[in-house]
Structure 1
Amino acid sequence: MAITLFVLARILFNPDMSWLGEIGEELWLFGGYGWIPFISWSIALLATIRFWPSMLKHNTKTWMASFVFLVSILTALSMFSPDVGTLSIYGYGGWFGQFIGGDPILLSLGNMITCMMAILLLLAPQWTASKLRGFSLFILSVILSGVRKTFIRTKALISTSMKRSSSETLSDNIETGIGNPSFRGRLKGVVSAIGFSKKMVVKQADSVDMAQQKTSPEEGIFKKVKPSKWRLPDAELLSEGQIKSVPQETLGKMSRIIEETLADHGVQVSVEDVRVGPRVIRFGIVPGWIRRYTEASSTKLKEHQANDASRVKVQSILSREQDLSLALKTADLRIEAPVPGEGLVGLEVPNPSPYRVYLRSITEHSSFKRIAARGGVPITLGKGTGGEPVTEDLLSLPHLLIAGATGSGKSVCVNAIITSVLMANRPDRLRMIMVDPKRVELTPFNGLPHLLKPVIVDTEKVLPMLGGLMKELFRRYKLMEEQGVRNIEGYNKKAKEQIPYLLLVVDELADLMMSARFEVEQSLVRLAQLGRATGIHLILCTQRPSVNVVTGLLKANIAARVAFAVSSQVDSRVILDGAGAEKLLGKGDLLFLSAQSPKPQRIQGTFMFDEEIERIVGFWRDQEGPPLVDIDLDEAQDLAQNPWDTGGDELLEKARALAEHSDRLSPSLLQRRLQIGYSKAVDLMEALEEEDMIPEGMSVDQKQVF
């Protein structure tokens, strides 16, 4: 071994082989620098045969590949040669290297590539075969595309030359006036068919500039081409946020505090699931076991004692909520027992490193794209307690009620929902109606092509709009009846003219209820009942979740609700029919309840800057898409004649009939018998007074019928 290493060192540092005599020069001429890898490979082979013979047996392909690699090295050495010396004739690989590689350099390069491919086939045959197949298909596609482009260019050149020759002939005919006398009539028909003006004069070829000849007719034709279709905005228009991570040491410390605090009070638990969200951290608590020792019949020996274990009661964990708040040094603590779909108790603690949830992170998620791809209307709500994006389909909800105190993030959530709708729906597929009595929340969306009319800020204009929406509702039902379908999806598949979805967004429902409570509630309830099949959806918002605003009829017809932080448990029960919203942290922290979820889901709402809304609205304003279907929202004059309407002359006739069969009449009696509101009953009383059916000047409760 020492002699071999000495020979290798002399070859490396003193390539002159004269110290070995004529035999050395012959050996050097035979192998050159190829002796170095050959001797190294031989030493490795002999050592393996001597000390690890089993390795040679189990790795036959590897050794064969190494031999092919040795041959490729010799081939590569033969491609280069010194200017002077013994190896200047055969190259650095000697005579043997030139024999393997070949004399021309291209032949040597091909042999080397072949050796490398052989190595790959020996080591990874399947992978190499698949790559070779893909490379061959790529080369074939490149060749075919080149042939196709050449054919297209040749065809274009031939057609251009033919058009040029025909235009020259046409100009000669126009200039000389030779030929058929009806030529000018045919030319006039061609010009009128193309769309040129009657006043257009055909000039002679020598008086018209070539640039004008090329541009004038083409510009006149292309100006009549329809504008491009609507394009969806790109996610680059939205801001991109960063996610803050919580150190594992902090999570481990909080888990130990929870286990030790409950263990000090005799409650054995283990924290087995920790999920970090944008605003809260959810610790999954698994109840432990309580071991009881029952003494056997023989009380003398302890080994006769039998073990009896039972689970820790969930109620014992719930009763220690205040102790956990004290240990974790936080008052905003919420316990969910049990977590839906999981066998554990959820303990939600505020995140020490909270971060904002940006709309872009949700619109780029696969769940949002999946809903949009299947034809739904995706709306973004935020991220759950585990950091997972929460996206819902408005068509399956189909309406949404949002309530929360001032400053809890309600308006930001509404802006995010509207923006998410704009990110995935074109105006020819979905139209919007917005009502903003506060005049500052939804007015930045003015100018959108999705809007049927500008944002309504006057409450007196809301009732006519609702009446027009009811008229559109009945019109759509009539169209679906004619087509024999059940919903708007079936109608759009059969009909030639598509009906867009309609989305009504009301930012402050309490203001509308104060102006005309009965009429607004009646219209909204009817739209909620009948709007899903016709593609009319509602998003109602309020900052006063009281029973006078969020009535029982509205809650019965709107199953999907979003509750932000409220001041009391009573308000939480009005929204969610249960407690929980009074313990939220505010600033976008919400509870989402839908028909698919048995319990409210805690979500951190999406945050948006005003600049993002401006960029999205500006993107839609700058587009000039195809004309949109006009939807008339003017209140119908004959709406009272509809069998579903309970107002107008029909109510007055019923009141007259009731007055004829009653000795006394009062608004409360009209309310009970006609199922109307108090304001409508007072109006009917006044109408009856004008007809002299009841006396004037008496108390409303003492109106005696004449």
Structure 2
Amino acid sequence: MAKKTSNRKTSSRKSSATRGGTRSSSRSSSKRSTTRKKTTGNRSTSRKQSRVSLQQKVLFGGIGVVFLSALLALSLLAPSQGQLTTVLTDLMLNLFGWGGWLVPFITLLVGIYLVFWGMDQPLELPTFRLLGAGILFTVFETAASLGVLLSANGLNDVWAIAKAHRGGGYYGGLFVYALMNAIGPLGTVFTLLVVAILGLILVSGLTRDDMTYYLHEFVAWIKTRPERDPEVAINTPRTRRVTAPSEEPAATQPPLLPEDGVPARPVREPKREPAVKRPSRRIPESAPQKEEPTILSPVFLGNNGRSKDHHWELPTVPDMLNPGMDQDTSGVVIREQSRVIEHTLDSFGAPAKVVEINQGPTITQFGVEPSYIQMRNGKRTKVKVGKIAGLADDLALALEAKSIRIQAPVPGKGYVGIEVPNPAKALVSLRDVMETAAFQKSARKSPLAIGLGQDVGGQPIVANLDAMPHLLIAGTTGSGKSICVNSIITSLLLQNTPDSLKLVMVDPKRVELTGYNGIPHLAAPVIVEIDKVIGTLQWALREMDSRYKRFAEVGARNIVDYNKKVRRHKTLEPIPYIVIIIDELADLMMLSPEDTERSITRLAQLARATGMHMVIATQRPSVDVVTGLIKANFPARVAFAVASGTDSRVILDATGAERLLGQGDMLYQSPDAPAPVRAQGCFVSDGELTKLIAYWQRARRFNVVPAEESIQKRESRRPIPKPQPRTAPARDAETGTMPTPVDAPIIKMDASTTDEAKTVVNQPPVREKAAPQSRPNPQLKEEPAATPKPPPSQQPLWEALQAEETEDDVPELDDELLPEAIALVRKLNKASTSLLQRRFRIGYTRAARIVDYMAEVGIIGPPTGTSKAREVLPWQDDGETNET
């Protein structure tokens, strides 16, 4: 047992010793492997550090090439300085002949390129330009050898010419030898000319469009060379090839611009353009009408150009407006900008390619198509549009532009639009837009066509107030907002007579619209007092309701149907369009925001069918001025330059207006367009406005027709009614007012009417005073100086202003319920509109009119400002009830 135990202990010791040896051996082996790994890592690190990068190698190689070029130049200048310089000189002159003097320069350029490449600033040298330079050098060498060979200098062998260091050396002699044996001397010369032209095209980068443009320029220069000025003007006006009008009045106007689009050169004695008369838009005549002699110059009439009582003549566009000015940007500059755009996008990890270029009067739009990028997983993914849109500031920095707008993407196109400002702006005249086929087409459909400007492609932007039906304009001071309003007014005045269009202008600033006072289109003088604007809007609402009643009586849906039916029945007269122009909305919203918003919203919602449209402008596009209700009813909007993107969202519901350039640069949101369109607005100068206003003021003086005479003429055309017993006219069940006859004129107003010839205005029913009817004296026209008259003034539109001008402070109310209402309020000792509505079962308007009248005559007190009823004043027996 003792032996067995000892054996077991001995074996356990051996096993433990064996385990300890194994552990120690494993530890030592692990230490060795760790030491080897560290040694291997240090060796690899030292190898990496000892390696020279490729850029450093290229840098060193570029420096060596620059040194070689200097050595070659020294060898050519001093070939006898040593054996090396002599050998280098003989080598260059034998190989390239006269072209050997260009070898040091070419070598220097290669060295500079390698140095910049090694400094991680590689120069961009397109491959086609390098290829073109090589072709031109080869042509030069070949032509030099050919010239020496064909000259009578005793050298009839190209190899002898090369040994003599003349011509193109062995390099040029090789091409001459091959071409002379193949196609002869003439073929060689022709081939060299063709190849030289190809090399020039590659070096210059000319495209087919550029070559076509320069060819047309050359042809135009040849045609106009005898009459050309010694100095060429930079800003040349756009000239049009306009033919004289034909004898037929319905002839269409010929094209106004040449198809090639090449601007004509200025000449010494520019010929005046012949005046082109606008074709008239005529109404189908049911019976032949006699042409009466007119006083003004004979021009064509519009669709409503001839009235029953007046002889209005529309002015011609060439006589009133001037053409614009072109500013063409060089094609080389545009191509350089496209190259910079592609390089900048590629450097920021958004590679793209310019696929389309649209040059406009103010900006040039580059259509950029996103390219593909290689992902880490090996897949190709197209660049996101949002990534390109976020690089606007970086592109502006690279192009050295004031501001860049990116439209991502362009609606209906497969690219992103990058809009870059042109070096010089072109002047877009209103005449340039009105003489286009697009405007003529729109004008034939509706007389409310307006010209807004030209888009980024130079195409005209024409709108129609009848289809808008209202327009909202916003922009900061100096952005072109007022000029846009003037261009809209000018477009309307050039197409409509005072019988077919009436204007209501509101100008609280007393600057922009006051100059239109005196034209016959105005329904009233330009309103400059802010406290009278609410009355103007209320008059417009009453006029709108009155027109709807007239439409219902004749079964018409809108103003066009009504005027068509009226022309069939000669006893009635057509009603004109009404355009309400408000120059500054912010002033009105500060004075009475609730009334202004309510009136504008109701007009915008309902007035379209009645032929009433609004053009509202503001220079403070904030949410408290352009409210949600107003903006929702103005789908057509024009945004000029604004201060921030927040203001741009208020106008257009999108950013972009904050990046506009000002001076007519705008974004136009059409009611049927998915996104705003950038354009350059039309420009109308002060001289053009003065000329147009003076024309209509002169026309007003020759078309003065007293209201009494006009009424007599209108009454003479009506059938004679049968004698009927004299009865009191029926009153309206709701309002108790006198019914308005269907054929009464809505607005029959002329600026030249005097006190003897008052204007007939559709106003709220008041008690009319009897006035003696006097026939107009025909001698007044022959002897105008016999009886001095006050200056003509346009009459107001609403009852309050008429009361102020006539100084008639006695209020009158013709209502059969007035005595009962006075007795009721005195009995109950309180008065309110709701009280009269409940007791007499009448409408709000009639009850409010009775309450206002009782407050004016002193029966009840003023409003308390709360929901309480008004106080009834002590009864004074002053005969108030007897008057009623």
Question: Within 5 Å, which residues of 2 pair with 1:564-603?
Answer: 564-603=640-679
1:3-14 correspondence to structure 2 within 5 Å:
none
Q: For residue 245 of structure 2, what is the aligned residue in structure 1?
A: none
Tell me which of 586, 599, 610 is aligned to 1:534: 610
Tell me, yes or no, if the aligned pair for 2:450 and 2:491 is still in contact at 8 Å: yes
C-alpha deviation, 1:683, in angstroms: 5.3
1:271, CA displacement in angstroms?
A: 0.6
* Amino acid corresponding to residue 590 of structure 1 in structure 2: M
**1:639 CA displacement:** 14
Query: Could you say which residue in structure 2 is the equivalent of 1:175?
Result: none
Match of 2:380 in 1: 309
1:562 aligns with 2:638: yes
Point out the more displaced range, 385-394 or 314-323: 314-323
Q: CA deviation at 1:552?
A: 0.9
Instruction: Provide the residue aligned with 2:868 in structure 1.
Output: 688
Aligned counterparts of 2:675 and 2:457: Cα–Cα separation in 1: 17
Aligned to 2:63: none
Paired letter, 1:338: P
CA RMSD of aligned residues (A): 2.9
TM-superposed deviation, 1:613: 0.2
Distance 1:395 1:596 in 2: 14
- Distance in 2 between the 1:626 and 1:491 partners? 27
Deviation, 1:320, is 2.2
Partner of 2:590: 514
Distance (Å, rounded) in 2 between the aligned partners of 1:606 and 1:593: 16
Q: Is the 8 A contact 1:465 1:635 kept in 2?
A: no
Give the whole-Å Cα distance in 1 for the aligned partners of 2:330 and 2:867. Answer: 73
Inter-partner Cα distance in structure 2 for 1:441 and 1:236 = 23
Q: 1:272 aligns with which of 350, 355, 362?
A: 355
- Kindly indicate whether residue 522 of structure 2 is the aligned counterpart of residue 451 of structure 1: yes
Indicate whether 1:247 and 2:330 are aligned.
Answer: yes
Tell me the distance in 2 between the aligned counterparts of 1:545 and 1:234: 34
Alignment deviations for residues 349-394 of structure 1 (CA, whole Å, 9 cap, x no partner)? 1111212211111111111111111234111111111111111011
Report the secondary structure of 2:607's partner residue: helix
Deviations 1:395-428 (A, max 9, x none): 0000001111111111111111111111122221
Deviations 1:554-613 (A, max 9, x none): 011111111111111111111111211111111111111122111111111111211100
Closer, same or farther: CA 499–574 of 1 in aligned 2, 3 Å? same
Question: How many Å separate the matches in 2 of 1:639 and 1:594?
Answer: 48
Residue of structure 2 in register with 1:463 after alignment = 534
Query: How many Å apart are 1:475 and its aligned residue?
Result: 0.8
Q: Which residue of 2 aligns with 1:257?
A: 340
CA contact (8 A) 1:400 1:560 kept: yes
Counterpart CA distance in 1 for 2:657 and 2:813 is: 44
Question: What do the CA deviations read for 1:306-352 (whole angstroms, capped 9, x no partner)?
Answer: xx533222122123222212111124111000101111100011111
Q: Which has the higher contact order (CA 8 A, sep 6+)?
A: 1
d(CA) in 2 for partners of 1:471, 1:322: 52
Matched-pair contact (CA < 8 Å) for 2:370–2:385: yes
Q: Please say if residues 361 and 428 of structure 2, whose CA atoms lie closer than 8 Å, have aligned partners that are also in contact.
A: yes
Is the alpha carbon distance of 1:401 and 1:227 closer, same or farther for their aligned partners in structure 2, counting shifts above 3 Å? Answer: closer
Find the aligned partners of 2:527 and 2:563 in 1 and give their Cα distance: 29
SS of equivalent residue, structure 1 residue 603: strand
1:281 aligns with 2:364: yes
Aligned residues of 1:528 and 1:558 also touching (Cα < 8 A) = yes
Instruction: Indicate conservation of the 8 Å contact 1:434/1:442, yes or no.
Output: yes
CA shift in 2, pair 1:249/1:473, >3 Å: same
- State the alpha-carbon separation in 2 of the partners of residues 317 and 334 from structure 1: 11
Match of 2:449 among 378, 381, 385: 378
Q: Contact 2:314–2:494 (CA<8 Å) still a contact in 1?
A: no
Offset, 1:684: 5.4
Displacement after TM superposition at 1:626 (Å): 8.0
Q: Residue 355 and residue 656 in structure 1: after superposition, are their counterparts in 2 closer, same or farther (change >3 A)?
A: same
Q: Please tell me the residue identity of whatever aligns with 2:357.
A: V
Is 1:325 aligned with 2:388? no
2-side partners of 1:342 and 1:626: how far apart? 56
Deviation per CA, 1:486-538: give whole Å up to 9, x if none: 11111111124111100000001111112222112111111111110100000
Q: Which residue of 2 aligns with 1:290?
A: 373
Residue in structure 2 matching 1:629, options 732, 744, 748: 748
| Mapped contact 2:475–2:481 kept (Cα < 8 A) | yes
Contact in 1 for aligned 2:428/2:454 (Cα 8 Å): yes
Mind listing any 5+ residue stretches in structure 2 that lack a counterpart? 1-307, 568-572, 706-746, 750-760, 763-796, 801-811, 816-824, 826-830, 839-861, 873-884
Report the alpha carbon displacement of residue 229 of structure 1 after superposing the two structures with TM.
3.8
Change (3 A) 1:500 1:317: same
The code of the aligned residue for 1:476 comes to R
Could you tell me how far apart the structure 1 residues matched to 2:579 and 2:586 are? 19
| CA displacement at 1:541 relative to structure 2 | 0.8
Mapped to 2, the partners of 1:373 and 1:609 lie a distance apart of: 26
Query: What SS is found at the alignment partner of 1:613?
Result: helix
**Contact kept? 1:263, 1:269, Cα under 8 Å:** yes
SS of 2:603's equivalent in the other structure is helix
Pairing partner for 1:410 from 481, 497, 509: 481
The letter for the 2-side match of 1:634 is W
Q: Superposition pairs for residues 329-340 of structure 1, below 5 Å?
A: 329-340=400-411
> What are the superposed Cα offsets for residues 108-154 of structure 1, whole Å, 9 maximum, x if unpaired?
xxxxxxxxxxxxxxxxxxxxxxxxxxxxxxxxxxxxxxxxxxxxxxx
In structure 2, C-alpha distance between the alignment counterparts of 1:378 and 1:422, rounded to whole Å: 11
Go from structure 1 to structure 2 and tell me whether the alpha carbon gap of 1:566 and 1:639 turns closer, same or farther (over 3 Å shift).
Answer: farther
Where does residue 435 of structure 1 map in the other structure? Answer: 506
TM-score, scaled to structure 2: 0.46
* SS in structure 2 of the partner of residue 518 of structure 1: helix
Tell me the distance in 2 between the aligned counterparts of 1:369 and 1:319. Answer: 41
- Pair 569,654 (structure 1): closer, same or farther in 2 beyond 3 Å: farther
**What's the secondary structure of 1:450's corresponding residue?**
coil
The match for 1:93 is none
- Measure the CA separation in 2 of the matches of 1:263 and 1:639: 81
Q: 1:687 to 1:317 in 2, by over 3 A?
A: closer
**2:422 aligned partner:** 351
The residue number in structure 2 matching 1:543 is 619
In structure 2, give the amino acid aligned to 1:354. K
8 A Cα contact 1:382 1:605, kept in partner:
yes
| Residues 832, 869 of structure 2: 8 Å contact kept | no
**Equivalences for residues 481-496 of structure 1 within 5 A:** 481-496=552-567
The 2-side partners of 1:316 and 1:652 are apart by 65
CA deviations over 1:161-195 (Å, ceiling 9, x no partner): xxxxxxxxxxxxxxxxxxxxxxxxxxxxxxxxxxx
Q: Using the alignment, how far apart are the partners of 2:494 and 2:472 within structure 1?
A: 22
Retained in 2: the 8 A contact 1:408–1:588? yes
Correspondence for 1:395: 466
Structure 2 counterpart of 1:319, which letter?
G
For structure 1, list consecutive stretches of 5 or more residues without a partner in the other structure: 1-224, 296-307, 641-648, 659-681, 693-706
2:563 touches 2:575 (CA, 8 Å); kept in 1? Answer: yes
Tell me how far 1:293 sits from its aligned partner: 8.5
Indicate how the Cα distance of structure 1 residues 317 and 618 shifts in structure 2: closer, same or farther if over 3 A, else same.
same
